[in-house]
Amino acid sequence: MTSSFRHVALIGKYQATGARAQHSALDEVMEGIGAFLEAQGCEVFVEKQHADEMAQSGYAALTVEEIGQRCDLGLVVGGDGTMLGIGRQLACHGVPLIGINRGRLGFITDISLDNYQATLIPMLAGEYEEDHRSLMHAQVMREGVSVFDALAMNDVVVNRGATSGMVELRVSVGRHFVANQRADGMIIASPTGSTAYALSAGGPLLHPAVPGWVLVPIAPHTLSNRPILLPDADEVLIELVGGRDASANFDMQSLASLVIGDQVVVRRSDYRVRFLHPKGWSYFDTLRKKLHWNEGGS
């Protein structure tokens, strides 16, 4: 069976703590996947950031920008964090992504490493389900000037300092004032991020097809402050009114320190991430498997 994808970028994640055995194990996995892709007729590249760890592979190394320009598929080997990072960077190029799970949960890296070959063969031939995920474009505004700019696929989180008390936040949606809230923080989550921090803080699950965000207070002082579902066409603005050492996190992968008066402004991005899943894939199958639904039932 011939692949309908000619140029495939192989993207992996090496542990920051990086014991040599971990690197060697991932080297072996990546080499095996690369050889498999070549056997399917694909030209294989590796992402430049991790090219040193695969120095003996013989594959050409590309920057993320070059992957966006030259590749028609990205194959991501790792966990959801790896996929979040590369997904944000490749969204503007429209390169589809397939995830092979080496992490713990795998909500968006959903192919098991154990049987990836049998799963990938029909996908590479064009038999797959396509799933588009929206991105959030966030800015930290200070006295009318943007001091931080980031994309997020999961969530934007305003948090209190580690050793400080609650923060007071002024929340507006679509330029309409909502409320002043005292809490440990506030989460704005996309449907993709609704199974992450927002779920732990009591938020609802959002199907990926829902064009909305969920606004979830973290340990609010007033218990009537509940999660609320918002249309993603509206701009969400969170102003830091009170509190020390507060910060804004974007997918928990980038961080901006906040001072009183700073505004975190979140808008729907023009870009979406393209995920490819095996034929017959269902979001509900993922929830059932990852959240262990039906266990203990008859």
Q: Which residues are known to be catalytic?
A: 80
DSSP state of 134: E
* Cα–Cα nearest to 273, from 251, 290, 249: 251
| Cα–Cα separations (whole angstroms), residue 115 to 110, 118, 119, 205, 208 | 12, 6, 7, 29, 26
Q: Specify burial of residue 86 (Cβ count, 10 A radius: 0-12, 13-18, 19+).
A: buried
Radius of gyration of the chain (CA): 21
Structure tokens, 95: 């390169």
CB 265 within 8 A of CB 138: yes
- Gap between the terminal Cα atoms of the chain: 41
CB 183 within 8 A of CB 189: no
How many whole angstroms separate alpha carbon 143 and alpha carbon 101? Answer: 43
Place of tokens 């509900």: 284
Q: What does the angle CA 178 – CA 180 – CA 182 come to, to the nearest 5 degrees?
A: 135
